[in-house]
Amino acid sequence: MDSLELIKAAISAVDPSKTSKLGKVTLTTEIRELGMDSVATMEMVGYLEEKLDTQFSDEVMIRIQTFGDLAKLVEKTKG
């Protein structure tokens, strides 16, 4: 599963109401554009951390703006 697909799976898992919008999500889509609140975003990150058996630092997460930024982090972690 590629990084963007893993991120989409995380979104579906934590906020099923966003599933219908996932077809429009690209690497340039800003995370806030999806309309996820901060709790859902943190749950999405938790899902990814669990799947990747890692923990992302707050310093790194602060800089994440787009799904592409998050995908790069996932790729680096999968490394």
| Model confidence pLDDT, tens digit, residues 4-31 | 999 999 999 999 999 999 999 999 999 9
Residue 1 above 80 pLDDT?
no
Tell me the per-residue pLDDT of 26-76, one tens digit each, with 9 for 90 and over.
999 999 999 988 888 889 999 999 999 999 999 998 889 999 999 999 999
Q: Tokens 């995380």 map to which residue?
A: 10
- Longest CA–CA span in the chain (Å) reads 31
* CATH value at residue 49: 1.10.1200.10
Domain count, the chain: 1
Tokens describing residue 71: 């995908």
Q: CB-based burial of residue 8 (10 Å sphere; 0-12 exposed, 13-18 middle, 19+ buried)?
A: buried
Instruction: Classify 69 in phi/psi space as left (phi over 0), alpha (psi -120 to 50) or beta.
Output: alpha
- Residue 78 is classified by DSSP as H
Domain that holds residue 8: 3-78
